[in-house]
Structure 1
Amino acid sequence: MKTPDLKTICCEALDDLKAQNILVLDIQDISGFADWFIIATASSSRNAKAISNKLIESLKLQNQHLVGVEGQDDSEWILVDCGDVVVNIMQQETREFYDLESLWGEKTLVSV
């Protein structure tokens, strides 16, 4: 059985708790800090926290390294740094305000 890669583990965990509008950006050629940048929308602060906890649990179960987690206190924007993959779990209003998708460019978008 093939072990799932880090990006797949993250996307499946996000999908399991119904994160919305999951986008995967391939930033390997334009970034020195990560290879993949994932953005997902949570329906509420409680949902954002649950999604991030599920993601962290999934990473630990797969023996993946977790660099750090930021933003779980207010849960408007939770960043989970997995090293090669950086996951952003954002409430809709926050996601619209920061518009990270346009910051990285359409060429980086990968279908999930």
Structure 2
Amino acid sequence: MNSQQLLDFAFDKVDDMKAKNIVTLDVRNKSSVTDYLVICSGTSKRHVQSIADHVAKEARHAGEVPLGYEGQDQGEWVLVDLGNVVVHVMQDQTRGFYELEKLWG
């Protein structure tokens, strides 16, 4: 998949799991690591973990093996690195503290 297709894919997968406040950020001119960020919230530790698990599982099924998968044990902030798209799934309190949208927006 190209970057835009991967972004659309990631957005759809977090939306499938009823993620809240989904935001996509184009960071191509700000980062050499990735093209896009998908940032969303889960309502609980389990919800955050489930969203991230779903993204990683569906990516594998689509032939896009995640390059990294961090934070699963804590469930406050789980990152799924799909290469050109990095998905951040957070609980609201963690998201408010780090303000990634403000940092990268």
TM-score by length of 1: 0.88
Identity %: 39
Deviates more, 1:61-70 or 1:38-47: 61-70
Aligned pair 1:5/2:5, yes or no?
A: yes
Give how far 1:30 is off: 1.3
Give how far 1:5 is off: 1.3
- In the comparison of the two structures, how many residue pairs are matched? 102
- Map 1:86-101 onto structure 2 (within 5 A): 86-101=86-101
Match of 1:82 in 2: 82
Q: Which runs of 5+ in 2 are unaligned?
A: none
Q: Which runs of 5+ in 1 are unaligned?
A: 106-112
Rounded to whole Å, the distance in 2 between the matches of 1:72 and 1:13 is 17
RMSD: 1.0
> What letter matches 1:82 in structure 2?
L
Q: 1:27, 1:35 within 8 Å by CA — same for their partners in 2?
A: yes
Rounded to whole Å, the distance in 2 between the matches of 1:17 and 1:30 is 29
Deviations 1:8-56 (Å, cap 9, x if unpaired)? 1111110001000000000011110000011000000000111011101
Match of 1:103 in 2: 103
Q: 1:9, 1:58 within 8 Å by CA — same for their partners in 2?
A: no
Aligned pair 1:47/2:47, yes or no?
A: yes
- Map 1:23-34 onto structure 2 (within 5 A): 23-34=23-34
